Structure 1
Amino acid sequence: MTDIVIAPWQVWWTNLDPQVGREQGGFRPAIVVGTFLACQLPNQLAFVVPCTTSDRGLPFHPTVSGLDRPSFAMCDQLKSISRRRLVRPHAAQLQIKEIEAIKFVLRQMVDTR
């Protein structure tokens, strides 16, 4: 599945295995956080933030609604993955306040100055 169309803030089911060390792995939803430009690059990569149902009480894990269970965006696990790891789109639609919360955390974690 390499000719898929992805867009920012879509939620996809992903296969993040095999994992290494403390990387998040497994079959789980992940949020596409790349820009429209990044999503259309021919490099076949996607920038995603994996989701978890484990509430660790961390300020850099904003709440995400609309998934099958209450979930959290693991912004500390931002990663570039092959689009082949995107299994299928998830039906979830993020709310504007959730997108803004994720953007805020990512700005705190990635120095873009």
Structure 2
Amino acid sequence: MAKLNSGDIVWMSPDATIGREQQGRRPAVIVAGNEFLTLVDSLALIVPVTSRGRGWPNHVPLLELPGPSWAMTEQLRLVSRERLHEHLDVVDELAMQRIQHWIRRFLDL
């Protein structure tokens, strides 16, 4: 896969999931900073995307994808880059700020 940048939206295959973890091929937003992505070339920190609106305040709408889409910030996940496939788009700056806000809030940062 080509070079990754924070905010990229890519296809991901999160096989071998358990419980409420998201499963099945789906878009994911790269949320790792560019320094992490440069230093750790085999992993990426992502949040998966859903097409099911739940009305949760931490589900950030993504307007870049063809159908209704939300970044699920509560499902922050470190994955092998081997799970990442085709580059789809890039999250707009305001949505990325909202995603980062919720991640910081959930991690008490």
TM-score range, shorter chain: over 0.9
Q: Which runs of 4+ in 1 moved over 2 A?
A: none
SS in 2 for 1:62: strand
> Equivalences for 1:2-41 in 2 at 5 Å?
4-41=2-39
Looking at structure 2, the residues matched to 9 and 47 of structure 1 have their Cα atoms a distance apart, in angstroms, of 11
- Post-superposition Cα deviations, 1:57-112, rounded to whole Å, max 9, x if no partner, equal 1111111111020100000000000000001111x232111111111111111123
Alignment partner of 1:66 out of 64, 67, 76: 64
Q: Secondary structure at the match of 1:99?
A: helix
User: Residue 90 of structure 2 corresponds to which residue in structure 1?
Assistant: 93
Aligned partner of residue 104 in structure 2, secondary structure: helix
- Which amino acid in the other structure matches residue 80 of structure 1? L
Tell me the CA shift for residue 42 of structure 1.
Answer: 3.7
Q: Normalising by structure 2, report the TM-score.
A: 0.93
Within 1, Cα distance between the matches of 2:59 and 2:105? 12
Deviation at 1:56, TM superposition (A): 0.5
Partner of 1:83: 81
Equivalent residue, structure 2, for 1:103: 100
Q: Which amino acid aligns with 1:47?
A: L
Q: How many residues align?
A: 109
Structure 2: which 5+ runs fail to align?
Answer: none
CA distance in 1, matches of 2:63, 2:5: 19
Instruction: In structure 1, list runs of 5 or more residues that go unmatched.
Output: none
Among the aligned pairs, what percent are the same residue? Answer: 33
